[in-house]
Amino acid sequence: MADVTLRHVYKVYDGGVRAVNDFDLDIKDKEFVVFVGPSGCGKSTTLRMIAGLEEITAGQLFIDGELMNEVEPKNRDIAMVFQSYALYPHMTVYENMAFGLKLRHTPKDEIDRRVKAAAEILEISELLSRKPKALSGGQRQRVALGRTIVRNPKVFLLDEPLSNLDAKLRVSMRSEITKLHEKLETTFIYVTHDQTEAMTMGNRIVVMKDGFIQQADTPITLFEDPCNLFVATFLGSPQMNIIDAELFMDGKTLKAKLNDCDDLIVSFPDIKAKQLADKKYIGGKVLLGIRPEHVRPNAGNLKTYVDVVEHLGDESILYTKMENRKDQFIIKMPFNSKIHANESISVEFNMDHVYLFDCDTHKAIMGIPNEDEIPVTIHKNMITIGEQELTLSDEFVSHLLDSAFDKEVHLAIKPDYVTLEEVPNSLKIEAKLEFVEQKTDYQALYFSIKGIEGYFAMKIRNEEQIKLGSKVNLYLPYLRLTVYDEDHNKAFSREVVHENRGVANVVNKNGMTIIRVGDSTLAYPDNGQYPDGQYDIIFKQDKLMTIFSKKLLKKGYENPEMDEPRNRIKVSAYDEDVLGDKLLTYVEVKGFDNYASFVVNNNFSVYKMPKFELFVPADGFILEPRN
Ligand code: ADP
């Protein structure tokens, strides 16, 4: 029994591979969470960090509220089941299961009790005296599970445990593991690359790609509301059809032209049209998604040509060609023997189940967004949201980068974290309920905020009914808020950002102003601005540039163009924060009381080059005389 919390966890391997980025997840006691994604997306690495088999580069891991980063694997009370379930061949099933307990000097009768109980749960009691070679693959896997069950761990970690089994056995083991989870009432974290396994087993699924969480939610919500094109096409079989489309208004109706064909036009129902994230998409190109099961043949007026028909007993799958479209357009329907290959049919989309995605960002742009984003301006500790002017907490402001202030930025939060009840440490904003959509797992509430275009959405998971048009307060917990700058890089850091202020000694000599900071020396042409003496030097957060080592230059990294190439400060880094295209480095600078933070290019990681130099251009700092 245990909660597992990962807070902004990163893994950068020695070679510099960024395997896991900003993995942030709360796993509740007794939950069955599945990490799913294509090979190499960072699933195993995350699991191994939880187990303690892999060091956490940055971020924190808590089990039942206790920080685990430095705790030995054996003291974490976690059991891990791997895909290769190496059993000891010379031992019986009983001995295999008892082995770990013996090593821990568990009393004999206690071992006996636990082995027998585990065998019962797994229904292998009659196999206890057999040796592994006399077992089938599925039985062996059960023994491997048994070895972990006897230890009564707080958390079970399973890394593709079924991938060595044949297809049929995999299906039956799936339900056995689900049953096992119900019997044991323990937290399970399960890794797989197989979307069907994920959809059928997890209470919650974490979809990963390239080391980033794409979306984490219940299977049904991921299926109904994928936050981007990747999640939409990764889950579901056959996968969602994605069609080039152009949105336009026909009177008051939102419509889409498909494949640039005048006779392929679909109309959105009002409730859907209202959910379009931004009016800018009207008149522009988008990607339209429709699942094969949401297309009805022999109806409507969209023409498509049937290439191949597959009858699978209870259902038929049609592989069809649509005008101006390269990819097949797939339709899934209840068994129908009347539709044949090589004929043209008319089809109709169920427009309640149509998705739209941005062509560049691939984000979903209709319906509940992955993140609510609203334009705001922040000046000192005041934030302007439409017509509301609010005070931000000092803590929150201390994490904001320079790029967050005094221009339009976006305040963002996941709809799941917005609440209607007052919670401590949150920003309170006023909003008006515009419309509600009932989903299988939750209600999606769409609000307007005075002075802001578009909607602000939240999810509630209860039956509460709020009157349309009513004004409410929404609470946005600071812990869950982030800020994006105009380039959509994060302008919010994990650590407090300081002013990058230290002491500098200035001497003017031979027409140069020479500045000493710690053990670094900078020199610029003397323009009479800084007489000799002691100053405070403040390095600007986003003006300094990383100088790459020879090793990295060989790997294709490029150093910036430098007017005075010797103007560098030596730094040692201890952490970094990925902001998007940019990286925030936290470094120590000699002569500074606090760490400094600099925004640099993201094609570099401080874990590859923990000690490095930063080039300081002439406009990269301010000198203030010390009083
Ligand atoms: P998955 O489990 O999703 O297939 P992994 O967590 O195994 O992905 O790997 C994530 C990334 O980290 C991949 O690019 C992989 O090549 C890399 N990686 C995994 N283990 C190591 C290692 N020991 N050293 C360097 N890179 C590694």
547 Cα to the center of ligand 1, angstroms? 28
Residue whose CB lies within 8 A of the most ligand 1 atoms, among 45, 80, 210, for a mutation test = 45
Sheet order of strands, 443-448 included: 456-460, 443-448, 426-438, 471-477
Residue 58 CA to residue 583 CA, distance in Å, equals 14
Residue 471 CA to residue 115 CA, distance in Å, equals 59
CATH number of 4-229, picked from 3.90.226.10, 3.40.50.300, 3.30.70.1400, 3.40.190.10: 3.40.50.300
| For residue 107, cis peptide bond before it (omega within 30 degrees of 0) | no
- The token duo for 434 is 């515009």
Interval 511-561: pLDDT, tens: 999 999 999 999 999 999 999 999 999 999 999 999 988 888 888 888 888
46 Cα to the center of ligand 1, angstroms? 10
Asked whether 481 and 429 are in contact (CB, 8 A), the reply is no
17 Cα to the center of ligand 1, angstroms? 8
- The pLDDT assigned to 575 comes to 87
Q: What does 379-400 look like in DSSP terms, one character per residue?
A: ETTEEEETTEEEEPPHHHHTTB
Mean pLDDT of all residues in the chain?
A: 93
| Residue that is written with structure tokens 């699978």 in the block | 312
Residue 207 makes CB contacts below 8 A (sequence gap 6+) with 36, 37, 213, 214, 215, 216, 222, 230, 231, 234, 235
Angle between the N-to-C axes of helices 137-149 and 93-103, in degrees from 0 to 180, rounded to the nearest 10: 20
| Residue that is written with structure tokens 């399970």 in the block | 188
Residue 451 CA to residue 428 CA, distance in Å, equals 16
Which residue spans of the chain are classified as CATH 3.40.50.300? Answer: 4-229
Residue 375 CA to residue 405 CA, distance in Å, equals 13
16 Cα to the center of ligand 1, angstroms? 11
pLDDT higher than 70, residue 163: yes
pLDDT higher than 90, residue 384: yes
Which residue spans of the chain are classified as CATH 2.40.50.140? Answer: 232-357, 372-484
- The pLDDT assigned to 581 comes to 86
- The pLDDT assigned to 1 comes to 65
Kindly report the backbone phi and psi dihedral angles of residue 448, in degrees, each rounded to the nearest multiple of 5, phi listed first. Answer: -110, 150
208 Cα to the center of ligand 1, angstroms? 13
Task: Pick the atom of ligand 1 nearest to 11's CA.
Answer: 12
Which residue has the CA at smallest separation from atom 11 of ligand 1? Answer: 19
603 Cα to the center of ligand 1, angstroms? 18
**Which residue type, as a one-letter code, is found at position 230?**
F
Query: Minimal CA–CA distance to 215: which of 442, 368, 113?
Result: 368
- Sign of the CA dihedral with 145 first, then 148, 154, and 156 last: negative
CATH topology of domain 232-357: OB fold (Dihydrolipoamide Acetyltransferase, E2P) (2.40.50)
Task: Pick the atom of ligand 1 nearest to 13's CA.
Answer: 25
More confident residue, 410 or 104: 410
136 Cα to the center of ligand 1, angstroms? 31
pLDDT higher than 80, residue 580: yes
pLDDT higher than 90, residue 470: yes
Which residue has the CA at smallest separation from atom 15 of ligand 1? Answer: 40
43 Cα to the center of ligand 1, angstroms? 8
CATH number of 372-484, picked from 2.40.50.140, 1.20.1630.10, 3.40.228.10, 3.40.50.300: 2.40.50.140
- Dihedral, CA of residue 196, residue 198, residue 201 and residue 203, to nearest 10: -140
Listed in sequence order, the DSSP H helices in 64-136 are 93-103, 108-122
Residue whose CB lies within 8 A of the most ligand 1 atoms, among 10, 17, 20, 54, for a mutation test = 17
Which residue has the CA at smallest separation from atom 23 of ligand 1? Answer: 13
Which residue has the CA at smallest separation from atom 17 of ligand 1? Answer: 19
Residue 418 makes CB contacts below 8 A (sequence gap 6+) with 372, 456, 458, 459, 474, 475, 476
Which residue has the CA at smallest separation from atom 27 of ligand 1? Answer: 13
Which residue has the CA at smallest separation from atom 16 of ligand 1? Answer: 40
Interval 263-288: pLDDT, tens: 999 999 999 999 998 899 999 999 99
Q: What SS3 string covers 51-68? A: HCCCCCCEEEEEECCEEC
Provide residues with CB under 6 Å of ligand 1.
13, 15, 17, 19, 37, 39-45
175 Cα to the center of ligand 1, angstroms? 28
Which residue has the CA at smallest separation from atom 20 of ligand 1? Answer: 45
Q: Compute the residue count for the chain.
A: 627
pLDDT average, residue stretch 183-194: 94
Residue whose CB lies within 8 A of the most ligand 1 atoms, among 12, 13, 209, for a mutation test = 13
Asked whether 431 and 456 are in contact (CB, 8 A), the reply is yes
Which residue has the CA at smallest separation from atom 13 of ligand 1? Answer: 40
pLDDT average, residue stretch 76-83: 85
- Dihedral, CA of residue 63, residue 64, residue 66 and residue 67, to nearest 10: 30
Q: pLDDT grade, residue 461 (50/70/90)?
A: confident
Q: pLDDT grade, residue 171 (50/70/90)?
A: confident
Task: Pick the atom of ligand 1 nearest to 48's CA.
Answer: 6
- The token duo for 582 is 């940019």
Task: Pick the atom of ligand 1 nearest to 17's CA.
Answer: 26
- The token duo for 412 is 């963002």
Task: Determine the straight-line distance between the first and last CA of the chain, rounded to whole angstroms.
Answer: 59
Instruction: Using the CB atoms, write b or e for 75-95: b if 16+ within 10 Å.
Output: ebbbbbbbbebebeeeebbbb
Which residue has the CA at smallest separation from atom 12 of ligand 1? Answer: 19
Q: pLDDT grade, residue 565 (50/70/90)?
A: confident
35 Cα to the center of ligand 1, angstroms? 14
* Enclosing H/E stretch for 546: strand 545-547
Asked whether 616 and 567 are in contact (CB, 8 A), the reply is yes
221 Cα to the center of ligand 1, angstroms? 28
Listed in sequence order, the DSSP H helices in 136-218 are 137-149, 167-184, 195-201
Residue 346 CA to residue 625 CA, distance in Å, equals 78
Task: Pick the atom of ligand 1 nearest to 39's CA.
Answer: 4
Which residue has the CA at smallest separation from atom 24 of ligand 1? Answer: 13
235 Cα to the center of ligand 1, angstroms? 22
| Residue that is written with structure tokens 């109806």 in the block | 299
9 Cα to the center of ligand 1, angstroms? 15
Share of the chain above pLDDT 70, in %: 100
pLDDT average, residue stretch 371-398: 97
Kindly report the backbone phi and psi dihedral angles of residue 239, in degrees, each rounded to the nearest multiple of 5, phi listed first. Answer: -75, 165
pLDDT average, residue stretch 369-376: 93
* Enclosing H/E stretch for 587: strand 582-589
